[in-house]
Every structure is written in structure tokens, then in C-alpha cells.
């Protein structure tokens, strides 16, 4: 379902250490490069996989690569199936738009027709449990409410691959249970879930396997509990 | 369409004041330029208010599309970093967003026609070509503007100034017929010149635009889009990296 072969993502920096594109780096002097992830190899089937590692280890880069937000600069990464993403608590939401408007907007961008996205709005409202807030600008939402809306929209496209980056950590307990149910449904239907975060008990509920990343490279890959123990030992936890 | 609808709400808000926001700029600009041309420069010419409106209206679309395109990538940062979608259309959606105010700003031209007693003629049929040409030219400017806004964040205001300069290096304030023949030949190289003169012909003089007035902006747009869209497509693969 998701196969990475020597996958790498490279970043270019100008002399002020701001990220620039590869083309801009070619025409500017004093640019440097750094690999966000490199030589990453794995195959993910129908399962839940957690990405573990300290901040800056490449978890977000890898999730964005899986989501198609980044393109591999080296090697390949293929992900077959409808992908839903929650890569930040912003979840692609515009603060000035209402929950309803954001849900319609994101639904269409995620691949639904305008008609399908419109038809799904009441279900998004029900699932997100936002009540009257659904008609208010997202700028007035808490992080948890944004995550709930993002997750409810993601659910509408019936994802085969769900990619989560710490967003689940902003959810309240009731919604964590909902997320857990969704994750298990996706996996039961033959899909995959990849999640990164620092809330290990929560990740343990979603994932049976873990990949430990350090400095952009895979240092361990196996059963969640084994890799978690190895990771914590490596950071002195 | 979806990108444009959300962009309209984010950029212009909502409510009954929306048309006022769309019309404020063109009316103010026509007023200021009218004072400049009629009083300061003392070169009023024929129906100066209408003559200026014929340039301000299409120019507003170009300049607003450039301004929007330069920030559109940053504004859409939350989506670009969260999901994969057809980012190639982002600058185009900037143009469509501003097209709403462009269409509304024709009110300025109509108002000036009433003020100067200029009646509509059959030449208005040319709008069928002229309006799409204006949108195409604005699109041709929007794609490089989007790249410029990403590459040179701190120079965005210069990008805006560059487009404004094109207005003054063309027959923005006075018709081409009021300039010397040598200047006129040079000004024709500006893609906005043909557009401005075409609008004047259609609304002010009631005649068909000359072929060059349509072909030069069209040729410029095709050349620019052919060169820039492939570059934009290459750059859009890396946009998420810039946005963090």
C-alpha cells in the first residue's frame, strides 16, 4: 500500500538559512542543502504504523511525503489509495471561513465533487459535534475543535490511507475514542494509518507497528512496543 | 471554483458592503487621475473621465491579480502543507477571485458614459473578446507574480510597483493619439497599451479595436504563459517546503 525505496527529501537554504526552492538555490549564491529524510525504506500494508523520534528527526517530512505534500528528491515513495491527511491542528482550515465553508472547501480539494461535498456537510456537522460553532468562523475554534472538524472532513472521503501528525493529541477523550474506531475501521477494510506524535499511549491504541526515525533515517522498525522501548532507551527515557 | 469561492470570502469578507469594497478602488483611482490629467497636466482630451475609466478598469484586474497572486501561496499555506491537490490552479484562482470585482467595476465605465453623454454602440460586441483577453493577460501576469512572491518575499512591494509602472508607461492617463509618434511606437510594446486603447475604442469612440490592440496583449500572454507555467509547475512541487 505504501512503499518507500531509498526515499529522500532535501531542503535548500539561502545564506540567511531560509528555505528556498531548488531552482532559487541554483541562481542564488551561498545556498546550502540538508536532507529532511534520506535512504528511507519500508513497506506498509494494512496496519497502523507509528513514527517515533525526537523533534526534527524527520517524522513530519516523512508524513508529508506519504501524503503527497512533498515529492521525493531521491528514491521513490508510492502510496496507493485515497489519502486523508491531518498534518497540523490547522488541518488546512481558513480562520475567516465558517466550519461549513471549510468543510465544503476541503472536501472538494480532497477529491469529492462539489455536490458530494455539499451532501456530506450535515454528516460532517454531526460527526464533528460542533453544534452552532459549525456556522461560525474557524478562527473562534479551539485546537481540539479544529482537529475534530479536520477529522470529520477527512472521514468523508472514506480514506484508505490516513496520515496523522500529532493532531490526535489535541482531541478530547470522547473524540479520541471516535478516532480510534475510525482507525480500526480503515485497517479492517484493508487500509493503512500512519501517525506521528509523542503521546505513546494514544499511538499504542492506534498502531501495532512503529518506525523510529533519527536525523532523517530509519533506525528501527518493528512491533510498536519493541521500537518504543528502543527509542526511549536511545533518548534516556 | 472552490479555491476562488474561498478566496473571495477570505479576501473580501461577506455582507452588503462587498460591492462597495469592489468599487471603491476604481472610483477613487478614476477621480484622482481625472484631477491629475484635467487640472495638473491640463490635458483633458475627449471625455477624460471615461477615457481614464477605460484604462483603470482593465488595469485593476491586472494589478489586483498580481497583488493576490504574490501572496496567494502564503495565504493557502495551511492547505498546501496539509494535503495534496492541484496547486497549478492557485494563481488562476487569484485571477478569478479578482474577476468578480473586475466585472463589478464596469459600473465605473457606465457611470462615466452617462456623465459624458456617450451612448452605447454596436462596438460593445467586442467585449466578448476583450473581457476574456483581459483575464488571459491578468493570468499571464499572475503566474510569474506567484513565483516572484515566493522567491522574493521581501520584494513583493516592488513587484506591485513594476505593474503600476506599466500603467504609466502606457496610455493609462492620456490616449495614444495624444502622444508623439515615436513615443506611440514604443508604448505599443507595452502589452497594456493595446488593451487600454481597445477599451477606449469600444466604449469612448464606438469603433472596433485595431488588430494590434488585441494581438499584442494576446501574443505577450501566450509567450509569458508558455515560459512561466512550466517553471511554476516545477516550483509548486516544493512550495510546501517553503511554508514550513
Q: How many domains does chain B have?
A: 1
B133, pLDDT greater than 90: yes
The pLDDT > 90 percentage for chain B reads: 47
* Neighbouring-strand partners of residue A13: A19, A32
CB-based contacts of B26, cutoff 8 Å, min separation 6: B53, B56, B57, B60, B105, B108
Grid cell, residue A42, equals 519500508
| pLDDT the model gives residue B35 | 75
Burial class (CB in 10 A: 0-12, 13-18, 19+), A12: buried
Query: How far is Cα B51 from Cα B116, in angstroms, rounded to an integer?
Result: 10
Does the structure show a pLDDT above 90 at B1? no
Q: Does the distance separating the beta carbons of A92 and B79 come in below 8 Å?
A: yes
B100 pLDDT more than 80: yes
- Tens of pLDDT along A61-97? 999 999 999 999 999 999 999 999 888 767 678 888 8
Q: Among A122-126, B23-27, B72-76, whose mean pLDDT is lowest?
A: B23-27
pLDDT band at B34 (very low <50, low <70, confident <90, very high): confident
Percent of chain A predicted with pLDDT > 90: 57
Cell reading at A124: 460532517
Grid coordinates representing A62 are 516523512
- pLDDT tier at A109, thresholds 50, 70, 90: confident
With b for 16 or more beta-carbon neighbours within 10 A and e for fewer, the B218-229 pattern comes to bebbeebbeebb
Q: Which of A68, A79, A94, A98 to mutate to test the interface with B (most CBs of B within 10 A)?
A: A94
Q: Which residue of A has its CA nearest to B82?
A: A87
How far apart are the C-alpha atoms of A136 and B2, rounded to whole Å? 19
* Residues in Cβ contact with A140 at an 8 Å cutoff, skipping those fewer than 6 apart: A133
- Within chain B, what is the greatest distance between any pair of CA atoms? 56
Predicted confidence (pLDDT) at residue A25 exceeds the cutoff of 90:
no
Integer Cα distance of B176 and B186 in angstroms = 11
Name which of A21, A36, A56, A139 to mutate to probe chain B: the one with the most chain B Cβ atoms within 10 A of its Cβ.
A21
Q: If pLDDT is split at 50, 70 and 90, which confidence band does B16 have?
A: low
Distance CA(B66)–CA(A225), nearest Å, equals 53
Facing residue for A69 by CB, picked from B2, B231, B240: B240
d(CA B230, CA B31): 40
- Nearest CA to A163 out of A98, A84, A233, A89 is that of A84
pLDDT score for A236? 78
Residue-wise pLDDT for B175-229, tens only, equals 888 888 888 889 999 999 999 999 999 999 999 999 999 999 999 999 999 999 9
Distances (CA, A) of B218 to A4, A50, B66, B129, B172: 45, 53, 18, 11, 19
Relative to beta strand A2-13, strand A74-79 is antiparallel
Contact B38, B45 (CB under 8 A): no
Binning pLDDT at 50, 70 and 90, where does residue B97 land?
confident
Report pLDDT for B42. 66
* Facing B84 at nearest CB: one of A68, A86, A105: A68
Show residues of chain B in contact with A104, CB under 8 Å. Answer: 2
DSSP three-state, residue A163: strand
Query: Which of A9, A17, A24 to probe the B interface (max B CBs under 10 A)?
Result: A24
Q: To which residue does cell 497583488 refer?
A: B67
Q: Decide: helix, strand or coil at residue A18.
A: coil
SS (H, E, C) B60-90: HHHHHHHHHHHHHHHHCHHHHCCCCCCHHHH
Q: Does residue A16 have a pLDDT over 90?
A: no
Instruction: Give the lowest-confidence range in A37-41, A55-59, B78-82, B219-223.
Output: B78-82
A97 touches chain B (CB under 8 A): yes
* Nearest Cα to Cα of residue B74 among B145, B173, B2, B169: B145
* Rg of chain A on CA atoms, in Å: 18
Give A45's Cβ-side CA count (13 Å radius): 1
Give the domain extent around B107: 2-243
Taking Cα atoms as reference points, which of B173, B135, B166 lies closest to residue B30? B173
Mean per-residue pLDDT over chain B, rounded: 88
Confidence of residue B18 (pLDDT cuts 50, 70, 90): low
For residues A107 and A156, the answer to whether their CB atoms sit within 8 Å is: yes
Comparing C-alpha atoms, which of A68, A103, A105 is closest to residue A83?
A68
Q: Which residues in chain A are closer than 8 Å to B83, comparing Cβ atoms? A: 67-69, 85, 87, 92, 106, 109-110
The answer on pLDDT for A53 being more than 80 is: yes
Amino acid at each position: 500500500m505504501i512503499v518507500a525505496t531509498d526515499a529522500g527529501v532535501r531542503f535548500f537554504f539561502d545564506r540567511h538559512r531560509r528555505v528556498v526552492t531548488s531552482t532559487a538555490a541554483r541562481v542564488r549564491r551561498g545556498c546550502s542543502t540538508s536532507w529532511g529524510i534520506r535512504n528511507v525504506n519500508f513497506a506498509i500494508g494494512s496496519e497502523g504504523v507509528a513514527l517515533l523520534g525526537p523533534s526534527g528527526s524527520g517524522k513530519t517530512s516523512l508524513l508529508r511525503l506519504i501524503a503527497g505534500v512533498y515529492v521525493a528528491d531521491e528514491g521513490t515513495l508510492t502510496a496507493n489509495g485515497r489519502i486523508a491527511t491531518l498534518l497540523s491542528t490547522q488541518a488546512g482550515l481558513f480562520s475567516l471561513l465558517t466550519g461549513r465553508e471549510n468543510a465544503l472547501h476541503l472536501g472538494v480539494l480532497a477529491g469529492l465533487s462539489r455536490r458530494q461535498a455539499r451532501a456530506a456537510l450535515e454528516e460532517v456537522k454531526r460527526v464533528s459535534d460542533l453544534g452552532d460553532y459549525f456556522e461560525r468562523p474557524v478562527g473562534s475554534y479551539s485546537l481540539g475543535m479544529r482537529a475534530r472538524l479536520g477529522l470529520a472532513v477527512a472521514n468523508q472521503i472514506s480514506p484508505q490511507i490516513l496520515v496523522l501528525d500529532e493532531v490526535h493529541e489535541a482531541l478530547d477523550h470522547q473524540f479520541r475514542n471516535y478516532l480510534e474506531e475510525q482507525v480500526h475501521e480503515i485497517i479492517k477494510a484493508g487500509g493503512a494509518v500512519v501517525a506521528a506524535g509523542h503521546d505513546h499511549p494514544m499511538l499504542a491504541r492506534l498502531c501495532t507497528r512503529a518506525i523510529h526515525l533519527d536525523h532523517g533515517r530509519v533506525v528501527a522498525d518493528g512491533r510498536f512496543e519493541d521500537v518504543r522501548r528502543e527509542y526511549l532507551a536511545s533518548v534516556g527515557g | 471554483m472552490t479555491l476562488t469561492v474561498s478566496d473571495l470570502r477570505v479576501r473580501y469578507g461577506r455582507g452588503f458592503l462587498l460591492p462597495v469594497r469592489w468599487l471603491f478602488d476604481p472610483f477613487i483611482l478614476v477621480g484622482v487621475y481625472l484631477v491629475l490629467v484635467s487640472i495638473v497636466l491640463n490635458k483633458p482630451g475627449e471625455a477624460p473621465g471615461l477615457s481614464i475609466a477605460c484604462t483603470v478598469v482593465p488595469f485593476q484586474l491586472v494589478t489586483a491579480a498580481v497583488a493576490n497572486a504574490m501572496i496567494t501561496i502564503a495565504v493557502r499555506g495551511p492547505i498546501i502543507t496539509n494535503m495534496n491537490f492541484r496547486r497549478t490552479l492557485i494563481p488562476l484562482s487569484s485571477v478569478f477571485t479578482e474577476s468578480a470585482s473586475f466585472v463589478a467595476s464596469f459600473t465605473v465605465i457606465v457611470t462615466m458614459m452617462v456623465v459624458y453623454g456617450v451612448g452605447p454602440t454596436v462596438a460593445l460586441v467586442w467585449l466578448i473578446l476583450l473581457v476574456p483577453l483581459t483575464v488571459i493577460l491578468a493570468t499571464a501576469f499572475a503566474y510569474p507574480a506567484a513565483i516572484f512572491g515566493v522567491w522574493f518575499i521581501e520584494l513583493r512591494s516592488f513587484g506591485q510597483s513594476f505593474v503600476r509602472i506599466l500603467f504609466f508607461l502606457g496610455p493609462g492617463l492620456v490616449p495614444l493619439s495624444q502622444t508623439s509618434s515615436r513615443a506611440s511606437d514604443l508604448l505599443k510594446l507595452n502589452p497594456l497599451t493595446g488593451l487600454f486603447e481597445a477599451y477606449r475604442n469600444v466604449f469612448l469612440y464606438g469603433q472596433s479595436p485595431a488588430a494590434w490592440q488585441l494581438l499584442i496583449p494576446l501574443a505577450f500572454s501566450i509567450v509569458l504563459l508558455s515560459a512561466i507555467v512550466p517553471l511554476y509547475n516545477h516550483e509548486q512541487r516544493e512550495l510546501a517546503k517553503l511554508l514550513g
